Chain A
Amino acid sequence: MNQQRPTPSLRHGPDPRGFFGDFGGRFVAETLMPLILDLEQEYDAARQDPTFADELASLSADYVGRQSPLYFAERLTEHLGGARIYLKREDLMHTGAHKINNALGQILLARRMGKRRIIAETGAGMHGVATATVAARFGMDCVIYMGSTDIHRQQPNVQRMQLLGAKVIPVTAGDGTLKDAMNEALRDWVTNVDSTFYIIGTVAGPHPYPALVRDFQSVIGREVRDQITAKEGRLPDSLVACIGGGSNAMGLFHPFLDDPEVALVGVEAAGEGLDTPRHAASLKGGRSGVLHGNRTFLLQDDEGQISDAHSISAGLDYPGIGPEHAWLHAIERAEYVAATDREALDAFTLLCRKEGIIPALESSHALAEVIKRAPRLPADHLMVVNLSGRGDKDMATATECLADELGLGKPDQQD
């Protein structure tokens, strides 16, 4: 291994071969290599092209609704009795999650490359909806691969994608979740490589995807820097975000990597518990491996066979994690923790009741860590949580899990 001389900045990755430390790379079939190299070249060109930046900024403002508010969660702060908690309101963006930031950036790249057909994988359906949305906006054909388990638990999003004109293909292999959808999307891509652009939804996959998805999502962290400085006159003390593949966390963290006084906390899905096989915490419960084009931490057995992940939230139900997170974990720049299904549900309910905001179950994992952490911190500690998506899509799951204890759907008694 060639050790490069350490640079003062942590924001310059990946290296020319697509590695963040030991993680990343381009582990794909030969059929895809030329296309991936073209994409890298095209992305480099787009980054130098002011008209690309202008168009992205203009659509981000007028079509997506950016910038997203940084909201001081007064009643949550009061309830937890510690750190001052701010919510970065990605849930208010068009299509209801941060996913649109990336989908929009990538479809502009697809158009530059002359591709007319868009494919994507989706777990919770938020990336699928974002992709179907931008495909409709730019008049492109769109095919979304979605695990059959996820189709069942995220019906409203399936109908939204179809309404937007996308074809939603169910994937029955494996557990019928995000990993299987990604396999199938890769099979489509390798078959239709000439016509098709693959909009990967998270900071994973072969180089340059982890870098370009991160760059498109970094608008989140850049806005937070400006907003918190305007409101509080300084940078935050900690940032908290949930992690499946890790795109909303990476987007929030990346502009702060070189500010060591800002603690970065990523929250994986602990499912039914890290001491059970039913979780999705690749950093806490996995080890280094190669899947879906990159080397990263994976849930796997001794034979290198990939385990099926589990989480109550479809968007976190993935046995891997973006390679830049694996690296930040290895160099200990970010701290990674996990929240169980139960903790996420409790956090989900608390935010509904204290702030009148229904969060996505994914984002509820980040809130679960806030509930544990904030009470132990002083009142002048500034904590920013990425509220990466809204929870309307999760009503079926929430009702199933919380109906009895909260009396959902039963006629209420007049007091």
Chain B
Amino acid sequence: MTTTTTAEGRLARRFAETRQQGRAALVTYIAAGDPDYDTSLATLKGLGEAGADVIELGMPFTDPMADGTAIQHATRRALDAGQTMDKTLEMVRQLRRTDQQTPVVLMGYYNPIYARGVTRFLDQAKAAGVDGLIVVDLPPEHDDELCLPANQAGLNFIRLATPTTDARRLPGVLTNTSGFLYYVSSNGVTGGAAPSAERVQQEVARIREHSDIPIAVGFGIRTAAQARKIGAFADGVVVGSALIDAQASGDTPAEGTQAVLELTRELAQALTGAR
């Protein structure tokens, strides 16, 4: 179980670094296999150098109930291009050949993991160099399904807290959460309206009363200006749908990748001067 770069190590170390540098970490989401395997791998490999501190890699699912149209279409494109869980894990293995530092978190829905078998999935993810998991449709009530086995396997299980997570639920949400907490800035699906920074700041402060776990804020953050506002107080800023749109914006897949990396650089720069 003990390796030189354990999962706990990579995410914890990255947030310790960015805290020390006095800035928020940039957490970027891309959908694995969008628009095809090779392009997606090229994007993934470029993200770290462009300034992504943590990478969320979306595991495509036919029924992404918590996602808006941008990510719905991206995961559809990936599945249509033949993306599988094996290929998603292979992308992480490829990345780890050149990048041993950037934490990678797989994000998606439970059924593709359940279909593979939890133990088999965790073994393969760990071996590929995955650091953590975000599984949208597993609330703390179902920790025995995946969260506890993942923690046992040395993978962080990153939970979402939302505006509806009240004081009664918050301790339960924080229990067994590790790596960071993903604060969903508004009720709704990914790619929605921009949150009010003032309200989010109050919510983040409320959570900090219960825990010193790093808190990354996501949903609706698209631009450098928005990232700067949230980055002024949050430990991390998550950008997803805007990067998905960038990937789809190019005339060729390679141009899409360049657009993603360009936006990543802008966002990273914004966070450097946010405080």
Contacts and interface: CB of A to CB of B under 8 A. Distances in A.
Interface in A251-265: none
B62 A306 contact: yes
Contacts of B84: 303
B112 A303 contact: yes
B136 interface: yes
B62 A305 contact: yes
Nearest to B161: A30
A304 B114 CA distance: 8
Interface string A233-252: 00000000000000000000
B113 interface: yes
A36 to B, nearest CB: 9
A120 to B, nearest CB: 16
Given A26-B139, A30-B161, A190 B66 contact: yes
Contact of B115 (A32, A187, A304): A304
B188 A190 contact: yes
A245 to B, nearest CB: 15
Nearest to B135: A27
Given A26-B142, A304-B114, A183 B187 contact: no
Contacts of A298: 111
Interface in B162-182: 162-166, 169, 173
A304 B142 contact: no
Contact of A305 (B110, B112, B169): B112
Contact of B111 (A32, A34, A173, A291): A291
A255 B116 CA distance: 37
Given A190-B188, A290-B137, A173 B72 contact: yes
B245 to A, nearest CB: 18
Q: Is the interface of A mostly helix, strand, loop or mixed?
A: mixed
B189 interface: yes
Contacts of A29: 65-66, 136-137, 139, 160, 162
B50 interface: no
Contacts of B136: 29
A179 B192 CA distance: 22
Contacts, number: 111
Contacts of B138: 27
Given A26-B139, A191-B189, A193-B187, A289 B114 contact: yes
B112 A304 contact: yes
Which of the four size classes fits the interface of chain B? 35 or more
B37 interface: no
A177 interface: no
Contacts of B189: 187, 190-191
A34 B184 contact: no
B123 interface: no
Contacts of B65: 29, 183, 186-187, 190, 292
Contact of A35 (B113, B137, B161, B164): B164
Interface string A23-46: 001111111111100000000000
Given A31-B184, A33-B169, A174-B62, A304 B111 contact: yes
A302 interface: yes
Nearest to B112: A304
A173 B72 CA distance: 9
A190 B111 contact: no
Given A17-B141, A30-B165, A34-B164, A289 B188 contact: no
B142 A25 contact: yes
14 contacts: A25-B142, A27-B137, A30-B139, A30-B164, A30-B184, A33-B139, A33-B141, A34-B164, A190-B65, A191-B192, A289-B115, A298-B111, A304-B113, A305-B62
Interface of B: 61-66, 68, 72, 79, 84-85, 109-116, 136-139, 141-142, 159-166, 169, 173, 184, 187-189, 192
Given A27-B139, A34-B169, A303-B116, 12 more contacts: A25-B142, A29-B66, A30-B139, A30-B160, A31-B162, A33-B165, A173-B72, A179-B63, A183-B65, A191-B189, A290-B109, A303-B112
Q: Which 6 A-B pairs have the closest CB atoms?
A: A304-B115, A304-B112, A191-B188, A31-B162, A304-B111, A27-B137
